[in-house]
Amino acid sequence: MTNSTEGRAPFRISLCASARHGSGKSTTSDAISEKLCIVSAISAKLARQNTGHDVGDGQKAMVDRFAERKGHENGSRSHPPNCVPLFTKAGRSWNKDTMEIVILVKPFWKTEVDMGRLNNKTAIITGGAGGIGSETAKLFLKEGAKVALVDLDQDALNDVAETLEEHGKVVVIAADVANEADVERYVQEAKEKLGGIDIFFNNAGIEGTVAPLTEQKVEDFDQVMAVNVRGMFLGLKHVMKAMGESGGSIINTSSVAGLSAGPGLTPYVASKHAVVGLTRNGSAEGAGQNIRVNSVHPAPVNTRMMRSIEKGSRPEDAAAAKAEYEKRVPLGRYGEPNDVAQLVLFLASDEASFITGAQYVVDGGMTT
């Protein structure tokens, strides 16, 4: 792309640009200087057209593009739905001898931050390194929330956080949800680091041992209760205190096993029924502070937990166990973590502002 003007050295702009669609980090458009927008506007236009322009055209393009962007902000021009062009400047260099400016930019379309369903909200997710927790974290981040992930193992948390950081701010806290001191610590730390707690996905859980009721060991029963019931109770206790009068939304993870029998999983079934009681009482006592408390009840979901239950149910043929479980779901398949995450997102958002004390199935029709 060159522009030769009589008596002056050729002026050349080289662009190295990559484009992608989807959400980027939750940078607000206001944080982007107009200057960068202008540079990016030329770059984007040129990159998109993937053809040469002289500087005069480039300047015109820049002005057009900037006006278009401003127009969009004022709601007067059309763009892809709910999108605003943002650009990350990756680097720039100037070569005096050749009069060459090299601009490295990475233009991308970003869902407008104002459109995020959890924009400016903060969330704690327990079991955040697990299948459902990490998927929900990703969705929350994409919708504009800042997220604290709580789980047992620091390394596992770090690994998950690494995959999520491109979507927004993630804090990780290693803690045992069954231990009250740990719970107080994760609530305090999350509140300080995120600047408050608006959403609590009370989700950590274990499946226990698969065995007939008559063969279940007391220590296994106690362990399931410690995590799935005590852990959930402690989370409610300390998060509700921390939310105080500001209100918030709490989503407790139960299961279809919290609504009906699940042969072979007595401790788990008992613990997930207890979650309904905790949810009901939490919602009754939290309503005065505008704290909503609901529970979600997934059918089998494709995560580590189902692999463990399949193996426990038929050690010699886990694949056959999976096929049997799938047959019990009218829609004929397991849920995916994102199926649960979408429901949790709805309950976490202001769209659910009149919903509390409710049990929501996400079960492919399994409990109908």
Ligand X SMILES: NC(=O)c1ccc[n+]([C@@H]2O[C@H](COP(=O)([O-])OP(=O)(O)OC[C@H]3O[C@@H](n4cnc5c(N)ncnc54)[C@H](O)[C@@H]3O)[C@@H](O)[C@H]2O)c1
Residue among 219, 224, 222 nearest 208 (CA): 224
Q: Is 127 in the site for ligand X (CB under 6 A)?
A: yes
| Candidate list 23, 43, 253, 356; residue touching ligand X; CB under 6 A | 253
d(CA 126, CA 200): 8
Burial of 130-167, coded b for 16+ CB within 10 Å and e otherwise, reads bbbbbbbbbbbbbbbbbbbbbbbeeebbeebbeebeeb
Is 268 a known active-site residue?
Answer: yes
Return the residues of window 142-161 that contact ligand X according to CB under 6 A: 151-152
How many Å from the N-terminal Cα to the C-terminal Cα in the chain?
Answer: 64
Please report how close the Cβ of residue 244 comes to ligand X at its closest, in angstroms. Answer: 24
Q: Is 313 in the site for ligand X (CB under 6 A)?
A: no
Please report how close the Cβ of residue 359 comes to ligand X at its closest, in angstroms. Answer: 13
| Candidate list 103, 171, 278, 305; residue touching ligand X; CB under 6 A | 305
Side by side, the strands of the sheet bearing 100-111 are 2-3, 11-17, 100-111, 83-95
Nearer to ligand X, 111 or 126 (CB): 126
Residue among 339, 308, 349 nearest 136 (CA): 339
Q: Is 304 in the site for ligand X (CB under 6 A)?
A: yes
Nearer to ligand X, 121 or 297 (CB): 297
Which range, of 35-43, 162-170, 217-225, 296-304, touches ligand X by CB under 6 A? Answer: 296-304
How many residues would you count in the chain? 368
Q: Is 303 in the site for ligand X (CB under 6 A)?
A: yes
Angle 90-95-96 from CA coordinates, rounded to 5°: 145
Which range, of 12-20, 78-86, 130-138, 216-224, touches ligand X by CB under 6 A? Answer: 130-138
Return the residues of window 156-195 that contact ligand X according to CB under 6 A: 176-178
Helices (H), the chain: 34-49, 55-73, 131-142, 154-164, 180-194, 218-225, 231-243, 266-286, 304-313, 318-327, 337-348
Residue with smallest beta-carbon separation from ligand X: 130
Residue among 111, 146, 118, 88 nearest 23 (CA): 111
Binding mask 227-246 for ligand X (x = CB under 6 A): x---x---------------
| Interface residues toward ligand X, by CB under 6 A | 126-127, 129-133, 151-152, 176-178, 203-206, 227, 231, 253, 255, 298, 300-301, 303-306
Residues classed as catalytic: 268
